[in-house]
Structure 1
Amino acid sequence: MRLDDFDNSINVEDQRGGGGRFPMGGGGKLGCGSIVIALIAALVFGVDPAQMLGTLQQTQVNAPAPQQGGSTLEESCSVNEFSRESCNALSSLNKTWTPLFAQANIAFQPPKLTFYSQAGNSGCGAAQSAMGPFYCPADNGIYIDTDFFTEMDQRMGAGGDFARVYVMAHEYGHHIQNVLGTSTQVRQLQQRSPSEANRLSVALELQADCYAGVWAGRNRDRIEAGDIEEGMRAAHQIGDDTLMKAAGRRPVEDAFTHGSAAQRMQWLKTGIETGNEDQCDTFK
């Protein structure tokens, strides 16, 4: 996908090389997606979800943000090709979504992109490479260890530039849900109806896929030959059923948290083809 170089309006923090702090404290509520992250980490990387959840629960959610490492925006976005690609995608996402919120008269502050390596710190607690990219609603941050993109290519068979920016756009979709209050409503419903928790989680994730597609659809003139195929392949490879099979487990729909390969492909395609966020009601 042909993206313009990022501009100075993007908000980027770089924790690489600075050593993110891990302040431990009492209590604290898990941020949206922490349980999902732990389960996906278990499926993809063999991490014990119970152990990871225990670590996340011990980490104080409202921990102070780590200090900037002194890097300039240009330096942080130029550490490697994946860093620049992520910054370029963030800039494009901001330019696409900000006007839509303005048209709807909804206050909107774009998310912050934080790079870390192996381990870092977020408003939702510890950031660990095994989690993969994630969004933290507590600080409106997208967190990425760019080594994950190498894992996507080599271990998951989901390489390509469009596959990588799809991941960025998906996490940005969670920010949109947070701004609109969708994430909060889902958490409340999950607390009231635990038996519906997984179904609601799947709907939330599929909507983020659709929002990612909307961004791509609204930038159709930037899409190159093979991009859509890369996106569909990535959506297939990170479907819950595909991940469970790869981990040697029998796919169980009741245990899905992100949606099947077919569902993820369908909703990404819906967003791309319509370019209309109103078509992303996955909760029907």
Structure 2
Amino acid sequence: MKCFKPQAYVTERNRIMEWKGRRQSDNIEDRRGTSVGRGGLGRNPFGRSGIQIPMGSGRRGGGLSIGTIIFLVVIYFVLKMMGIDMLQMLGEGTAPPSGYEQSTGERPTTPAADEMTAFVRTVLAETEDTWNGIFQSEGQTYQEPTLVLFSGQVNSACGFASSATGPFYCPGDRKVYLDTEFFTQLQQQFGASGDFAEAYVIAHEIGHHVQNLTGVLPKFNQLRQQMSEVEANQMSVRVELQADCYAGIWASYTEQKGLLEAGDLEEALNAAHQIGDDTLQKRSQGYVVPDSFNHGTSAQRAKWFKRGFESGEVSSCDTFSGSI
């Protein structure tokens, strides 16, 4: 992909810089380096619940004794005489690590971080161009999503998630969440390297946003309340494969711009293969459990991405009719 192929080696993944100069999306929310609270979020789709910090002492009344209060007051004034203002420290919180901006919580600006951010912005802009055009051709308006960059853990309208969750889309706030360290995992653990493989991951999550706008996700979330676990998994596979097909449509529009180079399509197909349910289960446990599949097999994921790529048509991505 010409816009994603480097000339200068600036990161461990040898990303080149020819894509510089293309439009970059402003729909980015950078939360890297910020602390995350985990309470009061309720149930979320990742099977994890927020951990609330208990308030009070656990005893009836939950108050402090007079002796304890006097002791704390004495400690306060002793520290005050030493030049330490505990009230100020409590109000401001713990100082951020060196290199972080306290007011924004942003990551230190390094060449690698700047390049990764620019790469994500560029891919997001390409998806915006693709889906704006498709929606306009149907007389509709595409509502662009926000992509949230985070590190380690994050809160969303869908609940708390850690990096182990992987990239995800939350229909509750219409945002894509991405810890870019997943790209390193994609290369080192899953054997799916290359810029276009990484771009495919972003395009897949944007595919879920398209499903949300077109009513597919709301309908699925409504129906699965009445489904068994096996039935919900089977329906989830169809939802995920359609997002793969939509990612293929994005790749098709990218090719029409003359941005693909030899090997780019293979990078995306390899990524789709490496993160298929059967391949992941074989790698982790040595055997597969088809009833637990919720994203599709490697063959299915590659098939539907390729179908979207070859057709470039939304109508070709009907994964809900017939076999998959």
Return the alpha-carbon distance in structure 2 between the equivalents of residues 249 and 8 of structure 1.
42
| CA shift in 2, pair 1:76/1:266, >3 Å | farther
Match of residue 20 from structure 1: 36
The residue aligned with 1:215 is 250
Check 1:135–1:205 CA distance in 2 against 1; reply closer, same or farther (3 A cut): same
Report the Cα offset of residue 102 of structure 1. 2.0
Match of 1:86 in 2: 120
Deviations 1:48-97 (A, max 9, x none): xxxxx1336x68xxxxxxx982769xx79972433222111000100110
Distance 2:214 2:142 in 1: 9
Query: Aligned ranges for residues 262-273 of structure 1 at < 5 Å?
Result: 262-273=299-310
Q: Which has the higher helix share?
A: 1
Alpha carbons of structure 1 residues 256 and 233: separation in structure 2 relative to 1, 3 Å:
same
Q: TM-score, normalized by length of structure 2?
A: 0.72
- Of the three residues 273, 291, 295, the one matched with 1:254 is 291
Q: Deviations over 1:3-46 (max 9, x none)?
A: 35454653111111122333x127x453xxx24xxxxxxxxxxx
CA distance in 2, matches of 1:280, 1:116: 31
> Which entry has the higher C-alpha Rg, 1 or 2?
2
Q: In the TM superposition, what is the alpha-carbon distance from 1:113 to its structure 2 partner?
A: 0.8
Who is 1:11 aligned against?
27
Aligned partners of 2:32 and 2:105 also within 8 Å: no
1:129-140 paired onto structure 2 within 5 Å: 129-140=163-174
Tell me if structure 2 keeps the 8 A contact 1:245–1:251. Answer: yes
- Residue number among 26, 49, 59 corresponding to 1:55 in the alignment: 49
Cα distance in 1, alignment partners of residues 126 and 111 from structure 2 = 14
> What is the rounded CA distance, in whole Å, between the counterparts of 2:112 and 2:137 in structure 1?
33
What residue identity is the alignment partner of 1:69? T
Amino acid of the structure 1 residue aligned with 2:291: D
Runs (4+) of structure 1 exceeding 6 A deviation are 75-78
Per-residue CA deviation, residues 250-279 of structure 1 (Å, 9 max, x unaligned), is 112111000000000100110111111110
1:150 to 162, 169, 184: 184
Matching residue of 1:63: none
1:55-204 alignment runs, 5 A limit: 55=49, 69=104, 79-194=113-228, 195-204=230-239
Q: CA shift at 1:203, angstroms?
A: 0.2
Q: How many residues align?
A: 252
Distance 2:117 2:140 in 1: 30
1:206 Cα shift?
Answer: 0.3
Unaligned runs of 5+ in 2: 4-18, 53-101
Taking CA–CA contacts closer than 8 Å with sequence separation of 6 or more, which of the two structures ends up with the larger relative contact order? 1
Identify if the C-alpha distance between structure 1 residues 19 and 77 changes in structure 2 by more than 3 Å, giving closer, same or farther. farther
Q: For structure 1, which runs of at least 5 residues remain unmatched after alignment?
A: 36-52, 60-66
Identity of aligned residues (%): 44
Contact 1:15 1:68 in 2 (8 A): no
Once the two structures are TM-superposed, the CA of residue 183 in structure 1 deviates from its matched residue by: 0.5
For the 8 Å contact 2:31–2:105, the answer to whether it is kept is no
Say which SS state the counterpart of residue 54 (structure 1) adopts.
Answer: coil
Aligned counterparts of 1:21 and 1:109: Cα–Cα separation in 2: 29
Taking structure 1 as the reference length, the TM-score comes to 0.82
